[in-house]
A and B are shown apart, each in its own frame.
Chain A
Amino acid sequence: MYFTGIDIGSTSAKVVALNENNDILYKNVMPTGWSSTDTAEKIRKDLSIGGIDGGNSKFIATGYGRISVPYADKTITEITCHGKGAAFLYDVDTCTVIDIGGQDTKIISIAKGQVVDFIMNDKCSAGTGRFLEIMASTLGMDLAELCNMAKTGSGISISSMCTVFAESEVVSLIGSGHSKKDIAYGIIESITNKVISLCGKHAATNNKFYLTGGLCESDYIIESLSEKLGSKVISSPLGRYAGAVGAALSAKSLK
């Protein structure tokens, strides 16, 4: 018997299948693209090639595209799934999860493995992965290059919180001859500051912070967050699958 979690985020879709012993037997990530329904169908086909289907698996869908998965047995919000998934992946009982997602950034308090409190960014894209992606493309690079370049930069701060205004701010910084590495530094500062301010609004359960979401492998972001929080932020390459893992774990309790 398999337990499959499907996390269709605004940027990428993540799939994880667990067995009875909670071993990860299958995992996959792909861009969500413009249609969650098409993505869900592609996931179904991929899973069935891997031998996982409705006959031997329960499915739980999460993420903003969760309603577009017709074969899901149940949908659960990404907040619950990220909390559960992070507690499992990082093997912790009580902690604070920072999830920088495509369109939402969430700070989630976990106690005894359960979500007990959470806060999300306002309805704009400030402080989200989308913000970073747009800034990176304005500078003509990808996300990994942006993070890498930021390491050696300094001195610039982006004051606009709104993605649209921040983009014009970046354009004018480019125009006035600032180096790409300094602008990249300013962009990362802007996002980590926004995340820290969310953490501050949120009474953290304790000082253990775990990062999930698509930026889980970005050393520089982890370093910047750790420095500002005054506590080491722990991450892992599996962090991006936290939502899917949480969904798969929840599938185990389906009747």
Chain B
Amino acid sequence: MSNIDLPSKFEEFADARRQGFLKVKEIKDKGGKIAGVFCTFTPSEILDAAGLFSVGLCGMSEETIIDAEADLPKNLCPLIKSSYGFALTDKCPYTYFSDIIIGETTCDGKKKMYELLGEIKDTYIMQLPQGVDREYAHKMWESELYRLIKTLEEKFQVKITEEKLRKAAALRNKQRNLYNELFELGKLDPPPIKGFDIYKVIEGSGFSFDVEGNCMRLRELIDNTKKAYEAGNRPVAAGAKRILVTGCPIGGVLDKVVNTIESNGGAVVCFENCGGVKPVRHLVDENAESIISAIADRYLKIGCSVMSPNIRRMEMLPELLKEFKIDGVIETVLQACHPYSVETRTIKKLVNDAGLPYMSIETDYSKSDLGQIKTRISAFLEMEPVR
């Protein structure tokens, strides 16, 4: 049954959080349905075509980790613990009001957490193939898409038509192109906007519920940023080292990592992770004969480290190093993220072979390693290129 009442602890929440709850409640009161998602693998086009509002539920704060540790092991990824903790404590309006949560079998930590999450919320798990080079991977993922369509049609009593899917694909493509355009501002030297600010825009638009409106805001932001740059506005100093940040989702450590880079002589000009360029450089072929097959195709191009081998990441990264004229690569690994952590060795070699310095930082959502992270990042930025 869909939940439209506010949580019992509502009055104890801080004002910003209460506003968040009220905003989502308004959508629900008008009959809107919310789909909570965790990953860039979730096929947004299908949720759109089902008339659902989709919203990202990845936990980005330390606040609920202690609650999550009642059910989950301590030595687990902070993103997984935080997300689960928000569901347990009713502190996140989006999780709380979700009519359905869609997860995928990505990393081990997430998929096992989804099983527990299923005890609290209606959670639907898609089986994601992890060997994308196998000929049956596409077939498997396509049939997962059909299965999701059937599930949503039954649960929400809607019809997901081809027409709706094509319309959704066109709109999502439009949004992807705009995100890409925003990221590509980082190709300018010096960049016209700080990496931290770009990421804040991406984060904010994840909660906008209105793809069309979001596209308009992105267009405006890009145009204004370009205009200000042409008028001589330089928010980033010329000569700042051009850093590519790669690795795990970075929302929960944005300040600790990105801000530290940018306040110590670096400029983050490219994000190669799931909030960054990784999921937006591939589009759905809107004119394909089978739109569902085209949607399946697009999502399997995402170079996440859960893939084995992770061919797409190794293909895209060298392109980005060149396109964004990168001076150095910093990889962020969230504590206990085995896929990204093990893959650091391959990435380090790839980056060093391109003649660039590389460093990986393992961290979590706590503040306990602020000093050490600052020292590592500063030391990395102090390194002189060897001629």
Contact = CB atoms under 8 A, between A and B. Distances in A.
B379 interface: yes
Interface string A229-243: 000000000000000
A115 interface: yes
Interface of A: 64, 76-80, 104, 111-112, 114-118, 120, 122-123, 203
A120 B369 contact: no
Interface in B89-148: none
15 contacts: A77-B375, A78-B375, A78-B379, A79-B382, A80-B382, A112-B386, A114-B386, A115-B382, A115-B383, A118-B380, A122-B362, A123-B362, A123-B363, A123-B369, A203-B352
A79 B379 contact: yes
Overall SS of chain A's interface: mixed
Contacts of B372: 104, 120, 123
Contacts of A77: 375, 378-379, 382
Contacts of A112: 386
Interface in B323-376: 352, 357-359, 362-363, 368-369, 371-372, 375-376
B379 A116 contact: no
Interface residues on B, range: 10 to 19
A80 B383 contact: yes
B384 interface: yes
B357 A117 contact: yes
Contacts of A120: 372, 376
B378 to A, nearest CB: 5
Interface in B5-21: none
Closest 9 interchain pairs by CB? A79-B379, A77-B379, A123-B369, A80-B382, A77-B378, A114-B384, A77-B375, A115-B383, A111-B386
Most buried by A among B352, B368, B380: B380
Given A64-B371, A114-B383, A117-B357, 8 more contacts: A64-B375, A76-B382, A78-B375, A79-B375, A79-B379, A123-B362, A123-B368, A203-B352
Interface of B: 352, 357-359, 362-363, 368-369, 371-372, 375-376, 378-380, 382-384, 386
Contacts of A117: 352, 357-358
Contacts of B380: 118
B28 to A, nearest CB: 42
A80 B375 CA distance: 10
A5 B371 CA distance: 21
B366 to A, nearest CB: 9
Contacts of B359: 118
Contacts of B375: 64, 77-79, 104
Nearest to A250: B382
Contacts of A203: 352
A111 B380 CA distance: 15
A77 B373 CA distance: 11
Nearest to A75: B378
Nearest to B374: A77
A116 B386 contact: yes
A116 B293 CA distance: 47
Nearest to B364: A123
A123 B380 CA distance: 17
Contacts of A64: 371, 375
A62 to B, nearest CB: 10
B49 to A, nearest CB: 45
